[in-house]
Amino acid sequence: MVFEGLYLIELYLEQSISKNGYCIELCRPLLSVGLCLSQELARERSYSPNSNYYFIYDKRLLKHPQILEDQIKLEIVYTCKAIPVMSLPTVACFFVEVRGYSKLYDDVNDTRLGMIGIFVSMFTFIAFTDMLIYWIHRFLHHKQVYKHLHKAHHKWKVPTPFASHAFHPMDGFLQSCPYHIYPFLFPLHKFTYLALFVFVNIWTVSIHDGDYRVPKTLRPFVNGSAHHMDHHLFYNYNYGQFFTLWDRLCGSFRNPSSFEGCGPLDEMKKMELEQEKPTLRRSTRNRAANKEK
């Protein structure tokens, strides 16, 4: 209700000051910041991390030796502190983009390619941002930068879906910059841009959700949760966001340990088997003793 209320307040204020054109232009950015900030918080509190945790995340990972005490609580608290700060430059970028300074457009017919251009831009957006995020991510691992910005995110050695946005605000904004750079360089439909922005947030959650299942035909190409888990565990591998291309080209690719049967979930399965062995031995001895009787 809070977020719907903010939206109604913005509409009311816009209508109230619409008689003074210059006033609406000055007030709209401030109103938009409040609205977009609340939307960011709403998305983070009730969107993909919750559903991924409850329906996809394997809870056995919570017993892994490298899981911190109260880790989920810590991840959520860190996220709630980071999101409001990170939202401010994000909203500023959106404002500049939609005010006509970018190549965003409204009508599909505004471009020569029409609907085909929509699908082409979706692919080029993912490919372009994947390339830039790779290099930004490597920059964040530079020893002079890592301890100040990116180290906080690597606090979560075995992350949960709630770790997806639990990082330093500047770290998060830097890694989102490619999404804002693209519409200044290439034509992009506004609603396509919005859909892609939602998609990349869902993807960011998915590579932290511990679901390592990827079709075998796509494993060599797609940077999934298994790849990113090894990035958290081993630091200097698998920097990519969507694909493994740049990791392979630049020598930072590591075949996920989960694909080789020695990932965190495999370790938990082995630990469970070790714990079950004494029980199995006792039950076997009891059955043997009963037979002798």
Taking the model in full, what pTM does it have? 0.80
| E-assigned strand segments in the chain | 104-105, 188-189
**Within-domain flag for 30:** no
Structure tokens at 268: 């938990």
Nearest to 246 by CA among 124, 128, 164, 145: 128
**Burial class of residue 229 (count of CB atoms within 10 Å of its CB; 0-12, 13-18, 19+):** buried
3-state percent breakdown (helix, strand, coil) of the chain, nearest 5 = 70, 0, 30
**Within-domain flag for 34:** no
What is the residue-level pLDDT of the chain in tens, covering all 293 positions? Answer: 333 333 333 444 444 444 444 444 544 554 454 455 445 544 544 456 888 898 889 999 999 999 999 999 999 999 999 988 998 899 899 889 988 899 999 998 888 888 999 999 999 999 999 999 999 999 999 999 999 999 999 999 999 999 999 999 999 999 999 999 999 999 999 999 999 998 999 999 999 998 998 888 999 999 999 999 999 999 999 999 999 999 999 999 999 999 999 999 999 888 888 877 665 555 555 565 565 55
Do 53 and 162 touch, CB atoms closer than 8 A?
yes
**Within-domain flag for 27:** no
**Within-domain flag for 62:** yes
**Within-domain flag for 292:** no
What domain range is 187 assigned to? 47-282
**Within-domain flag for 31:** no
Q: How many domains does the chain have?
A: 1
**Within-domain flag for 289:** no
Query: Can you give the C-alpha Rg of the chain in angstroms?
Result: 24
**Within-domain flag for 266:** yes
DSSP track, 121-152: HHHHHHHHHHHHHHHHHHHHTSHHHHTTTTTT
